[in-house]
A and B are shown apart, each in its own frame.
Chain A
Amino acid sequence: MFKQLMIFSIEKESYLRACGHLRKKMNSLVGQANGDNNKPVESSIRSKLEEGLEPNFIQVVNESYMHNVPKGSETHFKVVVVSEKFAGQPLIKRHRMVNELLRNELQTSVHALSIVAKTPEQWQESSKLVEPSPACRGGFGK
């Protein structure tokens, strides 16, 4: 009787462990499908820019890995936004539009933001290649 109970509890334990493992796996699969489970900042940048600028094309690149920050950080970003809303606006105004939409992110977690802001016409004419940001020089100041 006691032996049986032991076996049962061991089985139960390994069963629960397996369940936990499966659940974790499921979560990570769902996360990959959504693409944002582990990237809250990246996804909020994307959704705010999509909402505010209705872009024809948008690219949000997490460049944090290039810098002196822990792995998986969301501190350094590059955004490429192609939107009709930039038409007739000088570059500085376009940057201000982006900065304004991401004000909250820039005040809290985001620390470097490189911006490419073009109209659809300019984007068509351009090489559509986005140059990488300059290499880090170690000055991660706090």
Chain B
Amino acid sequence: MFRTIRFASLVRNFATKPEEIGNLVKGNKVVVFMKGVPEEPRCGFSNAVVQILRMHGVQYNAHDVLADEELRQGIKEFSNWPTIPQVYINGEFVGGCDIMLQMHQNGELIEELKKVGINSLLLETAKEADNTKK
């Protein structure tokens, strides 16, 4: 059986204006504001978020705040959250690295993804492992 391989979709918008942030966060089911790009995160916290989403096989839009100073400030104000990275699911602010890590560890992330119709890759891998056992 072939496992579906999903790649993180990359959207690099270099001219994001703060007033467009409201649209940006709804641009995909999962949207990440980070330092650097998913293939090359430029901050350990952003990298952790990228790795978590990769493990769950999530497709998402990524926005590099280092490439856009206006976006960097704008997103902090928009979310009323002082640090980067920031993760949105279904247009709603979920949290930064610490919260994503904790949601990943306690299984909440799988549930949140399910709510928006995303099946975590971790669930599928677990199922496959289960099937081989049987």
B67's nearest neighbour on chain A, judged by CB, is A141
A133 to B41, CA, bound (A): 15
Q: Are B45 and A133 in contact (CB under 8 A)?
A: yes
Q: How many A-B residue pairs have CB under 8 A?
A: 60
Q: Are A135 and B44 in contact (CB under 8 A)?
A: yes
Q: Could you say which of A103, A113, A136 contacts B44, with CB atoms under 8 Å apart?
A: A136
A61 at the interface (CB under 8 A from B): no
Q: Tell me the minimal C-beta distance from B47 to chain A in angstroms.
A: 6
Q: Are B81 and A91 in contact (CB under 8 A)?
A: no
Q: Are B36 and A134 in contact (CB under 8 A)?
A: no
A46 at the interface (CB under 8 A from B): no
B47, B65, B98 — which one has the most chain A CB atoms within 10 A of its CB?
B98
Chain B residues with Cβ below 8 Å from A92 are 93-95, 99
Interface size class on chain A is 20 to 34
A112 at the interface (CB under 8 A from B): yes
Q: Are B83 and A106 in contact (CB under 8 A)?
A: yes
A14 at the interface (CB under 8 A from B): no
Chain B residues with Cβ below 8 Å from A133 are 44-45
Interface size class on chain B is 20 to 34
Q: Are B99 and A113 in contact (CB under 8 A)?
A: no
Contacts known (A141-B35, A141-B66); A134 close to B44, Cβ less than 8 A: yes
Q: Are B98 and A137 in contact (CB under 8 A)?
A: no
B62 at the interface (CB under 8 A from A): no
B80 at the interface (CB under 8 A from A): yes
B43 at the interface (CB under 8 A from A): yes
Q: Are A137 and B97 in contact (CB under 8 A)?
A: no
A99 to B82, CA, bound (A): 7
Q: Are B98 and A141 in contact (CB under 8 A)?
A: no
A97 at the interface (CB under 8 A from B): no
Q: Are A112 and B83 in contact (CB under 8 A)?
A: yes
Contacts known (A112-B83, A113-B83, A141-B66); A134 close to B47, Cβ less than 8 A: yes
Chain A residues with Cβ below 8 Å from B83 are 106, 112-113
B125 at the interface (CB under 8 A from A): no
Interface residues of A (CB under 8 A from B): 91-92, 95-96, 99, 103, 106-107, 112-116, 133-139, 141
Residue contacts A-B, CB under 8 angstroms, 27 given: A92-B93, A95-B95, A95-B98, A96-B81, A99-B81, A99-B82, A103-B82, A112-B45, A112-B83, A116-B98, A133-B45, A134-B45, A134-B48, A134-B97, A136-B43, A136-B44, A137-B44, A137-B46, A137-B47, A139-B35, A139-B41, A139-B43, A139-B46, A141-B35, A141-B42, A141-B43, A141-B72
